[in-house]
Amino acid sequence: MAITAAQVKELRERTGIGMMECKKALTEANGDMELAIEELRKKGLAKAAKKADREALEGGIKIITEAGTSYVVSISCETDFLAISDKFKAMLTDICEYLKANGADSKDAAQLLINGDYALELGENLQIKDYLVLQGDTVGSYVHSNGKLAAVVVAKAGTDEDKLKQIAMHVTAANPEYLKADDISEEVVEKEKAIQLEIMKNDEKMGNKSDDVLLKIIGGKIGKFKSEISLYEQAFVIDPNQKVKAFIGEDTLTSFSRFSI
């Protein structure tokens, strides 16, 4: 399979390693991007890349939250110059209000509205990326000052809404993948163990040890791995001396969603 320059560029952006290594990894993986990253990690050349952080498009996010419901709209555009303009931000608000009035099934109609009323004036290709309604007993949301990162957190009734907003801020910064460590499947854990084992085997100081010894060492690493990707177990970004679950309370949150441009 022929490897394209675009594939090499994407892999470089996601891993931060050289062009030749990226091309070699993609060739060995027959063009499979995720497999190439996995093999590079095994060789100790690349860290895991999070999908939400590799988007190249410009744009912005708008969230309206009220009465246990968050209305979320993100729209992509071609340039940051437009994304930070007042006209683009006004359009985001208009489309978010349209979502609020018409529901999540109105996405196609909202895109037609954008194409007809905004695209010509703003002069760029405008596409709806996220268009959804999130509901719960208590809902908190946060949009980062750059307009490109946002989160919605859903919790049980009676949860402090100011605290929920702070948790939403944490989600944008820490990018958890799971709510609880128990939510991580054995398949994910075993895959990480295999990656860590290969990394150690390629380490000059560790490579001569037996698999049994290495697996014992990896056991400690897996606990850290779970903590790093589980919202409840992460160190709270506003106060790293405590975990998120200590700040908000265990079994308080029911779900979270993170959005990025």
Cα 74 to Cα 146: distance, rounded to the nearest angstrom: 13
pLDDT digits (tens, 9 = 90+) for 2-57: 889 888 888 887 777 778 888 888 999 999 988 988 888 877 776 544 433 434 37
pLDDT digits (tens, 9 = 90+) for 67-121: 899 999 999 998 899 999 999 999 999 999 999 999 999 999 999 999 888 987 8
Contact (Cβ atoms closer than 8 angstroms) between residue 195 and residue 40: no
pLDDT for res 39: 84
Q: Using the predicted structure, report yes or no on whether residue 127 has a pLDDT greater than 80.
A: yes
Contacts of 234 (CB under 8 A, 6+ apart): 170, 174, 176, 227, 228, 243, 244
Contacts of 257 (CB under 8 A, 6+ apart): 72, 134, 151, 152
Per DSSP bridges, beta strands 149-155 and 253-260 are antiparallel
pLDDT digits (tens, 9 = 90+) for 132-189: 999 999 999 999 999 999 999 999 999 999 999 999 999 999 999 999 999 999 999 8
Question: What's the pTM?
Answer: 0.72
Q: Please count the CA atoms within 13 angstroms of the CA of 169 that sit on its side-chain side.
A: 11
Task: Please name each of the domains of the chain with its CATH number.
Answer: 5-49 (1.10.8.10), 58-174 (3.30.479), 181-249 (no CATH)
Contact (Cβ atoms closer than 8 angstroms) between residue 175 and residue 258: yes
At 102, list the tokens: 């018409």
